Chains A and B, each alone.
Chain A
Amino acid sequence: MKRSIVLVGAILAMTACSGGDAEGPLVVYSGRAEELVEPLIEQFEESSGIEVDVRYAGSTDLAATLLQEGESTDADVFFAQDPASLGAVASLMTTLDDEILDLVDSRFADSDGRWVGTSGRIRVFVHNTGTDLPLPQTIDEANNPAWAGQIGIAPTNGSFLAFVSAMILERGEEATLEWLEELAANQPVEFEGNSPIVEATDAGEIQGGLVNHYYLLRLKAEGGGANTENWFIPAGDVGSLVMPAGASIISSTDMPEAANQFVEFLLSEEAQEFFATDTFEYPLIDGIGLGEGTPDLSEIDAPDIDLSQLADVLEDATRLVTEAGLV
């Protein structure tokens, strides 16, 4: 009897501890994967002394959650994989300080200043080197029937949805739906995230996939990926969309200073070097060298899209993805 009382008491104590209090940790909703950014967050905790409480989930998931939570959310910072998710919750975000916004090129930040890019990435078509199938020269050729059943996509992933949003901005809804339906008809293999697509390609389970450029580079740095290469679609269409991951601060935060510190940290030399050399992305502040194997941005023919507008069409993008039967 006594033992159970103690146990119940312990459970209740645990309960009490799980809610956040005002002087509590900085709550970050991270749409970026844990194994990618955890080291960075730990660095921040050490150097600043601020405790960080991270919720890892998909960017779109977190955006939906933030919208549902509204102003009573506990989150202080939203660190997302793509501008569309960031833009979707812009109404909840505060305008960032000019100091922060000035650190990056204007095309990698929100035109209203509600989010700032932290690192750049390019969409690629990753493929198994042993394949005979013709590599797509345009994004439409990715739906070549020859690739039936051999392409991996992550239709719930923020980057994919941002890519679809970009396609809507470039071509309009009708054409985008057509492209998505062609893709669905080609029986793509669906994954929860981007890493499994690259691993599956390397293992030969599929022959190719639509992901961001840095996953393969990371895999190669760990000693894997021997059978895989990135293919940058040469046509200059949304197939090689360049977009940043980014962060924003929620207006109802109870720790605005700490939140600011965190976002600043993401744009510090330390963090930007981390993004360049550890995750093989593109640093957005000047003066940081690229990681091994990362091609120069000037070599890539990227489409010209106003990233701030991506969020406006995100809902349409998700609707079209559902309509096409991909989820």
Chain B
Amino acid sequence: MSVGPLVAPSRARLSARLSRTRGWGWWVGAGLVLLPALVPPLALTWQVLTGGIGPGIPLFRLAQLLGGTLGLTVAVTATALALGTATAWITTRTDIPARRLWMVVAALPLVIPSYMAALTVIGATGPGGLLSSWLGIEIGTPYGFLGAWLALSTFLAPMAHLMVTPALRSIDPATEEAATGLGARPLRVFSTVTLPQLRPALVSAGLMVGLYTVSDFGAVSLLRFDTFTRAIYTLHAGQIDRRPAAALSVILMAVALVILLAERKTRSRAGYRTSSAKREHRTIALTAGRRWAALGLLGGYATVALVVPVAVLTYWLARGMAAGNVIGPLWAEMARSIGVSVGAALLAVIAAYPVAMVTTWRRRRLSETVSTTVWAAYSLPHIAVGVAVVAFALRSTRFLYQTLALLLIVYVSMFLAQAMSPIQDSLGRASPDLEEASRGLGKGPLQTLRRVTLPITRSGALAGAALVFISVVKELPATLLLRPNEFETLAIRIWSSTGEGFYTRASAAGLVLLAVSIVPLLVMTHRDLSA
């Protein structure tokens, strides 16, 4: 899933002689690919600096938005980290039954977009909700902070889970055994030896979850909690003068970039040796009581994060159909969602090759900058990108405005990092000398590409395409602002129907979206977790 920055593999030696003369083509390609990514932040900042912020926003309101955004971020991060670490630890270190199944289950909720999480919260509670009808439990819908916190924590915990799991695996098991041999009981081993070694991964995961929360639009707007993203959209849609929206977008982008840079710094500073020992970790045998507790935690989480959403959607759909509500055909939305996601996935993979090559097999000092730029583009909140691109396209590239082509270009820049990362991994596992070897045997650059580079990276490209597909199919705010006329995707349908109270239509679209996401998701979890 969209896991976040993975370490670019380092190359021990790369002949400078080779990089200097050949391979400039890859650099040019990388530059072209990165150009659209640089435009939104730069253009918008320029616009705000020269055009001013218009009527401006009162300070107390800014403080309110900042407080809301920060408060939600801190709460969600803490909760998601705790939950994700717990599930990661249970599924990698204990002998809980059906371990592999739980590993997949704990990661699955990532496919559920935040606006669907919001729909779940709304549709489950309240007088007409699922809980009330089936179990007779009546709770008021938790709009505001509570609902947003609940929705985001539940569906971001898998992100922490997926980042902590490999870290747990890479800890030298001998350190934990050494501690045990020195007389420490399991709890002491965990707190004095395991947890400190997990710290870099925890910080990374925390920053990633924080980044997602700061950027989230769908959940906070449907659950009516005022954060920067919600305010940006409201200002953009509800004001004739769009300058305040632009100003807020610039601030939000700056915040996101700061978080991203902090995250990259943390990872590069992690100095803990990874184990060269091939031994697997000793699994901890759980006593019966603890086993039930662990199963309870995992089962409870799976219920809330997977069963309840599907139940809510099905309930509202069934109820609506029984009442004779018109759902409306969803084929068009489905076709658009799938079409545009496939297109974006393909383009993103193609675009990812130059940047992957330039950061792995043809590494120079500039490579780190390229890599950071790609991840910066990934981290920009989509609502801000939308605002920036609308303004830019209207002024400078009019012919692209409101076209599908522009939407695709924006998708590709936003999600390039997800396509690039697995391809980098494949390249990193293979020796860069392969290219030289092929050339030495008389094959030209295109042949080398076709017969060596592409086959080696095939699985990485597939993984990247799957990731981008899922991301684009779920995407909401940028699509809202940039789409051509009459171009409604499943995501937009879900969001607008939920906002208008048409839960039946929203649920129908939601179920279709989940169905569409399943196949690439299975591809993804299969490789993520069998690696």
Interface residue ranges, A against B (CB under 8 Å)? 4, 7-8, 10-11, 14-15, 18-20, 27, 33, 35, 53-55, 57-58, 60-61, 63-64, 67-69, 72, 74, 88, 155-157, 161, 189-193, 195-196, 199, 203-205, 314-315, 318-319, 321-323, 325, 327
A122 to B199, CA, bound (A): 61
Does B240 belong to the interface (CB within 8 Å)? yes
Instruction: Establish whether residues A60 and B238, one from each chain, have CB atoms under 8 Å apart when the complex forms.
Output: yes
Instruction: Establish whether residues B238 and A61, one from each chain, have CB atoms under 8 Å apart when the complex forms.
Output: yes
Instruction: Establish whether residues B238 and A14, one from each chain, have CB atoms under 8 Å apart when the complex forms.
Output: no
A8 to B394, CA, bound (A): 26
Residue in B394, B484, B487 whose beta carbon sits within 8 Å of that of A69 in the complex = B394
Known pairs A68-B394, A192-B499; A8 contacts B346 (CB<8 A): yes
Most buried by B among A155, A161, A325: A325
Does B342 belong to the interface (CB within 8 Å)? yes
Known pairs A33-B500, A195-B500; A72 contacts B398 (CB<8 A): yes
Instruction: Establish whether residues B58 and A7, one from each chain, have CB atoms under 8 Å apart when the complex forms.
Output: no
A161 to B340, CA, bound (A): 36
Pick from B96-104, B289-297, B359-367, B402-410 the stretch touching chain A: B402-410
B326 CB to nearest A CB, Å: 9
Instruction: Establish whether residues B235 and A322, one from each chain, have CB atoms under 8 Å apart when the complex forms.
Output: yes
Q: Write out, one digit per residue, whether chain B residues 113-144 have a CB within 8 A of any chain A CB (1) or not (0).
A: 00000000000001110000000000011010
Instruction: Establish whether residues A54 and B394, one from each chain, have CB atoms under 8 Å apart when the complex forms.
Output: no
A68 to B392, CA, bound (A): 11
Known pairs A7-B343, A15-B408; A318 contacts B240 (CB<8 A): yes
CB nearest neighbor in B for A55: B485
Most buried by B among A53, A155, A327: A327
**CB-contacts of B405-430 with A (<8 A):** 405, 408
A15 to B406, CA, bound (A): 9
User: Please, which residues of chain A bring their CB within 8 A of the CB of B404?
Assistant: 11, 14-15, 18
CB nearest neighbor in B for A324: B58
A183 CB to nearest B CB, Å: 14
Known pairs A8-B346, A61-B236; A196 contacts B126 (CB<8 A): no
User: Please, which residues of chain B bring their CB within 8 A of the CB of A54?
Assistant: 485-486
User: Please, which residues of chain B bring their CB within 8 A of the CB of A57?
Assistant: 237
Residue in B234, B240, B486, B500 whose beta carbon sits within 8 Å of that of A196 in the complex = B500
Known: A57-B237, A60-B238. 12 other contacts (CB 8 A): A7-B343, A8-B343, A14-B339, A15-B405, A18-B404, A18-B484, A53-B486, A55-B485, A60-B239, A192-B221, A205-B126, A321-B238
A69 to B485, CA, bound (A): 14
**CB-contacts of B223-249 with A (<8 A):** 224, 231, 234-242, 244
User: Please, which residues of chain B bring their CB within 8 A of the CB of A55?
Assistant: 485-486
User: Please, which residues of chain A bring their CB within 8 A of the CB of B390?
Assistant: 68
User: Please, which residues of chain A bring their CB within 8 A of the CB of B126?
Assistant: 203, 205
Interface residue ranges, B against A (CB under 8 Å)? 55, 57-58, 60-61, 64, 126-128, 140-141, 143, 221, 224, 231, 234-242, 244, 339-340, 342-343, 346-347, 390-391, 394, 398, 401-405, 408, 484-487, 499-502
A47 CB to nearest B CB, Å: 20
A42 to B273, CA, bound (A): 67
Instruction: Establish whether residues B339 and A10, one from each chain, have CB atoms under 8 Å apart when the complex forms.
Output: yes
Residue in B55, B242, B408 whose beta carbon sits within 8 Å of that of A322 in the complex = B55
Instruction: Establish whether residues A27 and B485, one from each chain, have CB atoms under 8 Å apart when the complex forms.
Output: yes
Instruction: Establish whether residues B501 and A196, one from each chain, have CB atoms under 8 Å apart when the complex forms.
Output: yes
User: Please, which residues of chain A bring their CB within 8 A of the CB of B127?
Assistant: 203-204
Instruction: Establish whether residues B402 and A74, one from each chain, have CB atoms under 8 Å apart when the complex forms.
Output: yes
A199 CB to nearest B CB, Å: 5
User: Please, which residues of chain A bring their CB within 8 A of the CB of B343?
Assistant: 7-8, 10-11, 14
Known pairs A27-B485, A204-B127; A325 contacts B242 (CB<8 A): no
User: Please, which residues of chain A bring their CB within 8 A of the CB of B141?
Assistant: 205
User: Please, which residues of chain A bring their CB within 8 A of the CB of B58?
Assistant: 322-323, 325
A129 CB to nearest B CB, Å: 15
Rank and list the top 7 A-B pairs by shortest CB-CB distance, nearest first: A156-B238, A11-B343, A61-B237, A18-B484, A319-B55, A15-B404, A55-B485
Instruction: Establish whether residues B61 and A325, one from each chain, have CB atoms under 8 Å apart when the complex forms.
Output: yes
Known pairs A203-B128, A323-B58; A64 contacts B242 (CB<8 A): yes
A190 CB to nearest B CB, Å: 6
Instruction: Establish whether residues B240 and A58, one from each chain, have CB atoms under 8 Å apart when the complex forms.
Output: no
Known pairs A15-B404, A55-B485; A205 contacts B140 (CB<8 A): yes
- What are 25 of the A-B contact pairs (CB < 8 Å)? A7-B343, A11-B404, A11-B408, A14-B339, A18-B403, A35-B500, A55-B486, A60-B238, A64-B237, A64-B240, A68-B391, A69-B394, A69-B401, A156-B237, A193-B499, A195-B500, A196-B500, A199-B501, A203-B126, A203-B127, A204-B127, A321-B238, A322-B58, A322-B235, A323-B58
CB nearest neighbor in B for A314: B240
User: Please, which residues of chain B bring their CB within 8 A of the CB of A315?
Assistant: 240-241
B131 CB to nearest A CB, Å: 15
